[in-house]
Structures are given as structure tokens and as C-alpha cells.
């Protein structure tokens, strides 16, 4: 295959260090043309970083170089890396020098694609690399690491192996019916049922992918001047919403995203709900109602300094919704109310509200058990689920050939996730989403 090269670090920003990666049969010879150090090329050892000089026609650069011998490298091919100063000018100059001496510019995701084609990782692990690159929160990082490190692939390989065993027994039953033990065939039903349960557990986790990827929407509702905007400011630890003594200050939904406990939370500060003749405020109030209806969690803030029948009307908006009830302004309390007691103005007990919100969005479950986030995986798991359910439906009365067909289709669906029998266009499309240097 061609020898390819690209900047592996972010090429858009200057940094302390830039890395240019080279992969292919000629990686070492390209390095020998442009890099010199105290060690003779024949004496250089793989996996050892050498300090030397990259020399072009019009520039020289002090840099480190390290070489990885196939197959013990990221791509499974000979790989070399130049670690140079991180300025965009010098990084581009070193890359151009490499391209002038026998390498071509890598395509998007080509290094990781070669790793997949050379058996260094499964397709799902490669997708985990992309998830890791794009991760913005701690929860996303942990979930991407599970995928990238092969946790999902290992689980699916075990299910695949168990189903292969059952398929082999079914086929043996067809060819040698007298010699096949009935109890072995019966045991297969339990194995298939267990596999179906595991697949369904994985699919169940995918219900949380929206929260992990885009964050949970948290609507803050209450009467005017209950302290909704003060609460948002306390969460953000800065003034993000206007706070005044005038009722009706917030006219529209104000959205601010904050990472809490590794999960992104999108707080929606809404207009105070009341009867109003102001046309603009009425629109804001209607948006407040919609935000409460569509949010993953509702924070209902009541005001401890006033009595209000409207609060009980607002409480009806939270029926059937995951809700955290909060009593604000406890430093001036006149009318004790149920809920977590806070003072949004000082930030007192706001952390307790956030803890309850995290419980409502099942953050511990998301971070501990992981989430299936890739739509391709979800589609394949649904396909596998269907065939396993079909297989178990009327299992005792089915002929071995019908069981074998269902098991074949179920295994085929599972195999797609790791990269077995995946069309080339699918592989190309997956890696086209990667950045050039990965």
C-alpha cells in the first residue's frame, strides 16, 4: 500500500508540540531522507525516540523521531512519527517535506482504516476512536473508551460464539438426528434466551444516548420572581440571566449548558408562569409550558416568601414528568414549602438540587453500564433481536433447519458491528467521518 502521512495533532491551532505521522512500507526510508541524529540509521531501534534534525532545502528543525516496526504499530504497518515544534508554519513545512520524499497525504481516517483492515482493531473499536476524538464530557470519554478498548466487541464475540455452538448442534441434528443428544438441543434454548436478554439490555441502554451525546434538557419553572434566573446563575457560577425585582423579566427561554458529574445538562430558564396581558410575555409563558412538557427533568422552584395559588396550578404541569421540587429564598422564609430548601442568591444547597437532577437522568447508570450510541450498532442489534426472538418462538416444534437459519441471520447481524461481512462502501463511509490525521 502507499505510504501515507498527515498531521496527527490539531492542525488549526498552534501548540507546544505537533506530531506528523507516516505509515506504510516506505515510512523508514522517508525518515532517512529528512531526519538525522547521532544514531546511525542501521542502529536505530524501534519504539525509541531520538532527538535530531529535520532538514529541508530552506529550513532546519530540531525534532524527535520514533519508529514502530510492523506489525507492532497503530496501523499494523511500519509507522514513523516526527514530533516537532507546534507552530503551524513549521508543522506544515515538515509535512510538505515528507510528502516531497515519497509519501502522499492521508485521506480522512486512513490510519485507523488501515488498522482495521490489518486486524489491529474491530470496526466497532475504530468507531470508538472517532467517539473519543469528539467526546466533550467525562461521560462521553468513558463511554468512548469502552467502545475503543473493545468492551462491546468482547461481549458480542462471546454471544456470537455461543450462537455458533448452537447453530453447529442444529446442523448436526439435521445430518445425524439419531446421534444428537436431545438435552444438548434443549440446552441451546437457554443459551439463545440468554443471548437475547443480553442483546435487549444493550438496546435498552441506547435509550440514554440522547442524554449522553446532546445532554439532558432541564426546564426550570415557577411563578415570576421565584428565583429561576438566580438559580441558573448559581449553577453557571456567573450572571447568565437578568435578575431584577420586577416580575416578568424573563420573556423567552434562556438556555445554558453545564457539565455536572460528567453529564451535560442543558438548563432552560423559563418565563414565570402567570396570567399576563403583555403579548410578548404571553408568548414566553407558552414556551415555558412547552419546555416543561418536553424536558427530561423539570425543576419546579417555589417561593418561600409568598403564598400563591398559581404555584399549585404550575405543579400540575409536572405531573408525569421527572421533577425536582425546590423551595427557594429560605433565608427570608415566611411560608415553608416542600422540596429541597435552597437560597439561589447565595448558592446554598444548589449542589443538592444538581445531585437530584443527576439521579433523575440516571447518570450513574449511564456512566457505569455504558450506552450504545452508534446508530449502526443499534440497527444491527435490533436485527439480531428479531431473529433470536423468531428462533425462540415455538422453539420445541421447529425443525433444526429453521433454527439454524434464524441463528445464521442473528450471527450475521452481530458480525456487522465488529466488521464481519460489512460492505466496502459502509467501511469507507465510516472512516470518511474521521479527521485526516487519525
pLDDT of residue 301: 93
- What is the rounded distance in angstroms from the CA atom of residue 70 to the CA atom of residue 74? 9
Q: What is the pLDDT of residues 274-295, one digit of tens each?
A: 444 444 445 555 666 787 788 9
Domains 4-120 and 212-366 share a fold: no
Provide the sign of the torsion angle of the four alpha carbons 287, 288, 293, 298, taken in this order: positive
Q: What is the CA radius of gyration of the chain?
A: 30
- What is the rounded distance in angstroms from the CA atom of residue 327 to the CA atom of residue 28? 68
pLDDT of residue 176: 66
Query: Which of 95, 115, 113, 120 lies closest to 105, judged by CA?
Result: 95
- What is the rounded distance in angstroms from the CA atom of residue 338 to the CA atom of residue 302? 9
Contacts 24+ apart (CB under 8 A), 287-295: 287/252, 287/253, 288/219, 288/221, 288/253, 289/317, 291/217, 291/219, 291/221, 291/253, 292/219, 292/221, 292/317, 292/318, 292/321, 293/317, 293/321, 294/217, 294/219, 295/217, 295/218, 295/219, 295/268, 295/321
Q: What is the pLDDT of residues 37-59, one digit of tens each?
A: 988 888 889 999 999 999 998 89
Number of H helices, E strands in the chain: 16, 13
- What are the two backbone dihedrals, phi and then psi, of residue 79, each rounded to the nearest 5 degrees? -130, 140
**Contacts (Cβ under 8 Å, ≥6 apart) of 38:** 50, 52
pLDDT of residue 334: 92
pLDDT of residue 272: 54
Cell of 415: 458480525
Pairing between strand 4-7 and 15-23?
A: antiparallel
Cα end-to-end span (Å), the chain: 17
Q: What is the pLDDT of residues 354-407, one digit of tens each?
A: 999 999 999 988 988 889 999 999 999 999 999 999 999 998 888 889 999 999
pLDDT along the chain (438 residues), means of 10: 93 85 96 92 90 93 96 97 94 96 95 96 95 92 95 96 92 68 74 97 94 93 88 82 42 78 90 48 61 88 90 84 94 92 94 96 88 96 97 90 94 95 90 88
- What is the rounded distance in angstroms from the CA atom of residue 116 to the CA atom of residue 417? 13
- The strand order across the sheet containing 216-221 reads 254-260, 263-269, 216-221, 297-303, 323-328, 340-341
Residue ranges of domains in the chain: 4-120, 212-366
- What is the rounded distance in angstroms from the CA atom of residue 66 to the CA atom of residue 87? 20
- What is the rounded distance in angstroms from the CA atom of residue 105 to the CA atom of residue 3? 9
Q: Is the pTM of this model over 0.85?
A: no
Decide: helix, strand or coil at residue 100.
helix
- What is the rounded distance in angstroms from the CA atom of residue 403 to the CA atom of residue 387? 10
Cell of 286: 407558552
Name 85's bridge partners. 17
Q: Which superfamily is assigned to 4-120 in CATH? A: Probable tRNA modification gtpase trme; domain 1 (3.30.1360.120)
pLDDT of residue 269: 84
Q: Which CATH number fits domain 212-366: 3.40.50.1820, 3.30.930.10, 1.20.1600.10, 3.40.50.300?
A: 3.40.50.300
Amino acid at each position: 500500500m502507499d505510504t501515507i502521512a498527515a498531521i496527527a495533532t490539531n492542525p488549526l491551532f498552534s501548540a507546544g508540540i505537533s506530531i506528523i505521522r507516516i505509515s506504510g512500507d516506505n515510512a523508514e526510508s522517508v525518515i532517512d531522507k529528512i531526519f538525522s541524529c547521532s544514531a546511525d540509521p542501521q542502529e536505530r531501534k524501534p519504539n525509541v525516540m531520538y532527538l535530531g534534525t529535520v532538514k529541508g532545502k530552506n529550513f532546519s528543525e530540531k525534532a524527535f523521531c520514533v519508529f514502530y516496526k510492523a506489525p507492532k504499530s497503530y496501523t499494523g504497518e511500519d509507522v514513523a512519527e516526527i514530533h516537532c515544534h507546534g507552530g503551524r508554519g513549521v508543522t506544515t513545512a515538515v509535512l510538505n517535506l515528507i510528502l516531497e520524499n515519497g509519501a502522499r497525504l492521508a485521506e480522512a481516517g486512513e490510519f485507523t482504516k488501515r488498522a482495521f483492515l490489518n486486524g489491529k482493531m474491530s470496526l466497532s473499536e475504530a468507531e470508538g476512536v472517532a467517539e473519543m476524538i469528539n467526546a466533550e464530557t467525562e461521560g462521553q470519554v468513558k463511554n468512548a473508551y469502552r467502545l475503543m478498548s473493545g468492551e462491546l466487541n468482547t461481549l458480542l464475540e462471546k454471544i456470537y460464539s455461543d450462537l455458533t455452538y448452537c447453530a453447529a448442534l442444529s446442523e448436526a441434528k439435521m445430518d445425524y438426528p439419531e446421534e444428537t443428544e436431545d438435552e444438548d438441543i434443549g440446552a441451546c434454548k437457554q443459551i439463545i434466551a440468554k443471548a437475547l436478554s443480553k442483546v435487549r439490555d444493550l438496546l435498552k441502554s441506547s435509550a440514554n444516548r440522547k442524554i449522553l451525546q446532546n445532554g439532558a434538557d432541564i426546564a426550570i419553572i415557577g411563578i415570576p420572581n421565584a428565583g429561576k434566573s438566580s438559580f441558573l446563575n448559581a449553577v453557571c457560577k456567573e450572571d447568565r440571566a437578568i435578575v431584577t425585582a420586577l416580575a416578568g423579566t424573563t420573556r423567552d427561554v434562556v438556555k445554558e449548558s453545564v457539565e455536572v458529574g460528567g453529564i451535560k445538562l442543558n438548563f432552560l430558564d423559563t418565563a414565570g408562569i402567570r396570567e399576563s396581558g403583555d403579548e410578548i410575555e404571553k408568548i414566553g409563558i407558552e414556551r415555558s409550558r412547552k419546555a416543561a412538557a418536553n424536558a427530561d427533568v423539570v425543576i419546579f422552584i417555589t417561593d418561600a416568601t409568598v403564598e400563591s395559588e398559581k404555584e399549585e396550578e404550575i405543579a400540575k404541569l409536572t405531573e408525569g414528568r421527572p421533577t425536582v421540587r425546590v423551595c427557594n429564598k429560605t433565608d427570608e422564609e415566611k411560608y415553608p414549602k416542600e422540596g429541597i430548601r435552597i437560597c439561589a442568591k447565595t448558592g446554598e444547597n444548589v449542589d443538592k438540587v444538581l445531585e437530584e437532577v443527576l439521579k433523575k437522568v440516571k447518570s450513574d447508570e449511564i456512566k457505569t453500564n455504558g450506552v450504545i450510541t452508534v446508530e449502526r450498532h443499534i440497527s444491527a442489534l435490533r436485527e439480531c433481536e428479531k431473529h433470536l426472538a423468531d428462533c425462540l418462538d415455538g422453539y420445541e416444534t421447529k425443525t433444526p433447519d429453521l433454527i439454524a437459519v434464524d441463528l445464521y441471520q442473528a450471527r450475521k447481524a452481530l458480525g456487522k458491528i465488529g466488521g464481519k461481512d460489512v460492505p466496502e462502501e459502509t467501511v469507507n463511509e465510516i472512516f470518511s467521518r474521521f479527521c485526516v490525521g487519525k
